[in-house]
A = this chain, B = another copy of it.
Amino acid sequence: MAGRNHLYVPGPTNIPDSILSAMHLPSEDHRSPNFPLLVKPILENLKKIFQTEKGQCFIFPATGTAGWEIAISNTLSPGDKVLAYRFGQFSHLWIDLAKRLGLDVEHVEVPWGQGVPLDLLEARLKADTSHDIKAILICHNETATGVTSDLPGVRKAIDAAGHPALYYVDGVSSIASIDFRMDEWGVDICIAGSQKGFMLPAGLALLCFSQKALAARESAQCRRAFLDIGDHIFHNAGGYFPNTPSIPLLYGLRKALELLLEEGLENVFARHARLGEGVRRAVAAWGLKLCAQAPKWYSNAVSAVVVPEDFDARDVIHIAYHRYNLSLGAGLTELSGKVFRIGHLGDLNELSLSSAIVGTELALLDAGIPLTPGSGIAAAGAYWRETAPAIPAR
């Protein structure tokens, strides 16, 4: 097919050309005297993305899944109780991983389309007077449902209960797209991946540990080797890594950090909010509903759209891909056939996202779902016009 595929899955996201070019370079010696000149500024700039001064960042040649394991295995022991909420496929998978590592996971079922229930959380922590719960696992942005949970609210609940539990956040699909503040919100470990807001290929698990989390290493009995942060702490001090890093991804990460910090984190978040709202207006104009059940849970990174009862979302996705060269995200497990997902995170602007809205509309119509042609983009466009920055006159 001529023309590009239009990629609007919620990750991997579109990679800016400047990052692709930054990654296209000859191999080099990762033990050379100059290598720390690459590594150290990356580790410093990464802290700015996590909005931390006190934390320590790590870059593993792995994926977000590995990030979940790194968080757990470096700080906890088999049999430790952790508290988690299951409201989508990714919160589900983290719970599953924690169980495989031998933790005693107390997981609470929450309707898919809602986020962390702060009242239940606070009540549970208050009830845990013996402080059995060692850590709380929170999925910041549930990619499967397009739901963003209230992280400052989680911190408030923990504090209200005066509970010492470690506070772990899966930020894979939120970091660098949705506001996240490591220090201010008292998060102990945050996990990100390279292939979402960082606009890179997958292949890097990016983590930030608080000092409290670092201290928990002492007592952690989970066996770990490749995913042990201890080796990283040792080698990072000199600007090196314990293993051979993926050098193109490091150069790509350096460029991504430059792009994000040049745009300014607040502007990055505002852009995601504005683009996401455009998508939501389009969905409303089509007469469809989001999986996210209330505005407080609407995600600025991804929208899961519910198709009407008698239709199958897989048809929409199938038509979009094969007929219009548009890649949408599928509904996962419980949501299969019920939703399709539009990723609106990473390197995008109004007109690139317009392709996704237009293509979705065409696919919806082809699938027989009734809507007013042009209504989606008209609604999104109206919002973007209202909120576009002023420009100097010609």
Contacts and interface: CB of A to CB of B under 8 A. Distances in A.
Interface size of A as a range: 35 or more
Interface in A1-49: 1-7, 9, 11-18, 20-33
Residue of A68, A329, A349 with highest tally of chain B CB at under 10 A:
A349
A351 B355 contact: yes
Oligomeric state, in number of copies?
Answer: 4
A229 B223 CA distance: 18
A325 interface: yes
B354 A366 contact: no
A273 interface: no
Contact of A222 (B223, B249, B271, B350): B223
A300 to B, nearest CB: 14
Given A100-B228, A244-B202, A382-B373, A321 B32 contact: yes
What 7 pairs across the A-B complex have the smallest Cβ distances? A374-B378, A374-B374, A3-B349, A203-B246, A202-B244, A373-B378, A29-B327
Contacts of A355: 351-352, 354-355
Nearest to A330: B31
Nearest to A21: B21
Contacts of A356: 351
A322 to B, nearest CB: 4
21 contacts: A1-B349, A2-B271, A2-B347, A3-B349, A4-B16, A4-B26, A4-B352, A5-B28, A12-B28, A17-B25, A23-B23, A23-B248, A30-B202, A33-B321, A78-B223, A102-B223, A201-B246, A202-B245, A222-B223, A325-B349, A354-B355
Interface stretch (A59-67, A127-135, A211-219, A289-297): A59-67
A294 to B, nearest CB: 28
